[in-house]
Structure 1
Amino acid sequence: MRAYPPGYYPGKLVQPAPQPGFSLRRLFGVPDEPPPVYKPVVRPRRPAPAPVPVVHQERPKPNATTQVVVFGDALAGYAEEGIAGLYSDSEDVAVVRKTRDEGGLMRSDPDEWPKFIKEVLDGGQKITLAVVMIGAKDRVPLKDQSGEHDPLSNEWREAYRQRIDALLRIFKDRGIPVVWIGLPPMKNDAVSEDLLAMNEIYRESVERNGGTYVDIWPGFVDEDNRYTATGPDVDGQPAKLRANDGVLFTKAGARKVAHFADAEIKRIIANGQGGVANAAPPHPIEGSPNATPASSSIEAFLPAPPEAAAPVSLPSKPLIGPVLPLSRPEVTPGGTLISTKPKLTGDQVYPVQRALRNGIAPNSRPGRADDFRWPPS
């Protein structure tokens, strides 16, 4: 039988057992101590801290002369957050939230919202103008004595219009201007179509009752007029405007809603703070202290001397132009926020698209600096 070295077997490679090192205990015949057994250290788990509820805290402005009170549902809360951010540095404008997250015109009794607004106004709340945004959860059937009616049916529309009128009538009777913010598109296409029809009901009722309707729909759709969760913010930078549920807003979206309504809010505030121009002084009565002595009969028939020509003042050229911040929001000549980029029209569409999109330079014209043709010989 063939002998193999220790640790080697045909077809296998076996590692030899580890040999113990030198030890004085084994040299004098003293048995080794057993190896120490280490027990795992178990640290007690600390209980997770309780979530801290986010509470909206309004900075008090005791000297504010303008009180903007926001009414509505959960979306109105985001509108109030954006409006309050716009006027956070102004001590003359205070923004107050009076919203009910689960509230809606069709999810409660017809008299519930008018009663709530009356309680707020009669409870000592000062108000200069009211901002209303409501209806995100009003797509529910209507039940009355004649049966159940589907949303946006003829019976539903008439009942909904009556509830909107009842709410607006409270502000109209008390002389309080109203800014009604329309609803934005939603992630669900069917819901967006219904909200678009509801916005038309809001617009008709608000304008008929003397209020101001603000359409924010163009600021939250893409070029195809469809819902989009992202888009340009108030500074023109791409940002996420809507929450993951496709209903609520992000902080950037709330700021954009506020900028749509801010133009109308400022217009109402300016009209309310403007004074009445002084009337022209009356003609002095003869015999009064302010009356001038009567002219002589000869001077009365003399023609008045010609008035000296006023010097023509030429406009002076300013040393520098107006300071335009790069981060200001773009607005239209009417003051509303620009939500989409301007579209090209006319004869300049084709050459602009050809040059900027396709990278093809326009043809040179004779005599222009880019005309590199040889002159005719």
Structure 2
Amino acid sequence: MRKRVNRVTLRWGAIGTATLVVFFSALPVHIADAQERYYYRRSILDFFFGRRYIQEYPPQQAPSQNAPQRQPAPRKKAVAPKAAAAPRPAAPAVVEEKVVEKLANAQKILVVGDFLAGGLGVGMDAAFRDSPGVVVETHSNVASGLVRDDYYDWPQQLTKFMDEAKPAMVIVMLGANDRQQMVTDIGKEKFRTDGWYAEYQRRVVAFGQQVTSRKIPLLWVGLPAFDSPAMTADAVQLNQLFRKQMEGVGGEFVDIWDGFVSEGGEFIVTGSDINGQQVRLRTSDGINLTEAGRRKLAFYVEKPVRRILGVQASPDLVRLDTGNTPAIDAVAMPGRTEPISLSDPNLDGGAELLGGRAFPVSATKSPRDLLVQDGEMAAPPAGRVDDYRMAPMKPTAQVTIK
């Protein structure tokens, strides 16, 4: 047992010695000469076989134990050249909107109704912005109508508005909020019943007569289509009622239906504006109107308004300020002027009226006279296809074959 341990110890001792020899032999050995040109490296092969490997370095690259090792300089990151800053676009010139001054005696258009009438009033302001003889005044209540007179009494309010404004025309747009139960003197009437339509018709007639009884022109604007099929169907029936009753009270019904539906009669969100461009006419709820929709709504009403008001609604109407008129000298005024006869030929500096001079007479007949009167046709130019004066071709000699 003791011998066995000694063998193991000897073996481990030999292995350790060999390991140490290999370790130390692997270390580089420097030979100091004049220039430190040679660098000897010993390995385990040198230990057993005596081989040596010599590697030569140039003097400037020869490693030195005392020379401090230089740290590699950090690389500078390449910085891309900055692009020249683009010039800022010039700010758009602010175009000042020309404000047309209204005349002191401008005629006033009174627009009354619910939320749709409020949008109509905005569109009418834009339509008559350049007309100095027209002023638009709008009174609208968003949730009002002719059904809930307990919430907003339109007959009473209309009388007050007309007394204050003294309008030259009244435009009404109501009915979008009237699709609900109505309280009458008899009781409550549900929407779409015969009793409801009878009472609603009576209220429409009474409301219209408040305007026409004062000899004021009345325009009743119909309802547009809505995104809801039920609301659209009710709007069709209410428009029929409005049209029929306006004919009886002396008002005029303005139909705007075609401007807010497709060719098939369906509700549309986007359509043509007053310039023919495709724009959004309705808001996302399918009920209200956008700015372009309001202007289009006023476009339908603008036509009858200009027809009724006439020259007063023209944008070319100007005001004559009598305070700045030039003084007229009474001495320089001409005397009495004799009436001018329309048949006086001396007004144009000539001796005869226009058209009174006889046409010049030609000694020869024109090609038309030759053809119509004498039946003679002028000779065509030589060489043209209808020139039949060409000499006939001579007949060729006939050859007989025997």
TM-score between the two structures when normalised by the length of structure 1: 0.55
Give the 3 Å change call, closer, same or farther, for CA 270–149 of structure 1 in structure 2: same
Residue of 163, 171, 179 corresponding to 2:211: 171
SS at match of 2:265: coil
1:99 aligns with 2:137: no
* Conserved 8 A contact 1:110-1:163: no
Give the 3 Å change call, closer, same or farther, for CA 77–273 of structure 1 in structure 2: closer
Alignment of 1:1-377 (within 5 A): 61=102, 63-109=104-150, 112-123=153-164, 125-144=165-184, 146-270=186-310, 311=354
SS at match of 1:268: helix
Give 1:99 deviation, angstroms. Answer: 1.3
* Conserved 8 A contact 2:112-2:173: yes
Specify which structure has the higher proportion of helix.
2
Distance 2:166 2:189 in 1: 39
Give the 3 Å change call, closer, same or farther, for CA 138–145 of structure 1 in structure 2: same
Cα deviation 1:205-248 (Å, max 9, x = unaligned):
11111111111111101122011111011100000001111111
Give the 3 Å change call, closer, same or farther, for CA 263–172 of structure 1 in structure 2: same
* Conserved 8 A contact 2:223-2:235: yes
* Conserved 8 A contact 1:168-1:209: yes
Report the residue type matching 2:115 in the other structure.
Answer: A
SS at match of 1:103: coil
TM-score between the two structures when normalised by the length of structure 2: 0.52
SS at match of 1:219: helix
Distance 1:199 1:312 in 2: 59
Runs of 4+ deviating beyond 6 Å: 271-274
Give 1:144 deviation, angstroms. Answer: 3.2
The unaligned stretches of length 5 or more in structure 2 are: 1-98, 315-351, 357-402
Give the 3 Å change call, closer, same or farther, for CA 91–158 of structure 1 in structure 2: same
* Conserved 8 A contact 1:233-1:256: yes
Report the residue type matching 1:135 in the other structure.
Answer: G
SS at match of 1:131: strand
SS at match of 1:88: coil
Give the 3 Å change call, closer, same or farther, for CA 152–272 of structure 1 in structure 2: farther
SS at match of 1:253: helix
Give the 3 Å change call, closer, same or farther, for CA 111–101 of structure 1 in structure 2: closer
Give 1:102 deviation, angstroms. Answer: 1.8
Give 1:188 deviation, angstroms. Answer: 0.2
Q: Specify the structure having the higher radius of gyration (Cα).
A: 2
SS at match of 1:169: helix
Report the residue type matching 1:175 in the other structure.
Answer: K
Cα deviation 1:324-343 (Å, max 9, x = unaligned):
xxxxxxxxxxxxxxxxxxxx
SS at match of 1:136: coil
Distance 1:272 1:213 in 2: 22
* Conserved 8 A contact 2:133-2:313: no
Give 1:151 deviation, angstroms. Answer: 1.6
* Conserved 8 A contact 1:70-1:97: yes
Give the 3 Å change call, closer, same or farther, for CA 60–180 of structure 1 in structure 2: farther
Report the residue type matching 1:200 in the other structure.
Answer: Q
Distance 2:102 2:220 in 1: 24
Give 1:143 deviation, angstroms. Answer: 2.9
Cα deviation 1:55-111 (Å, max 9, x = unaligned):
xxx998452521111010110010010111011122111000111112110122499
Distance 1:179 1:103 in 2: 19
Distance 2:292 2:152 in 1: 35
Distance 1:143 1:204 in 2: 24
Overall identity of the aligned pairs, in %: 32
SS at match of 1:68: strand
Distance 1:215 1:246 in 2: 19
The unaligned stretches of length 5 or more in structure 1 are: 1-57, 275-308, 314-377
* Conserved 8 A contact 2:134-2:312: no
Distance 2:246 2:192 in 1: 18
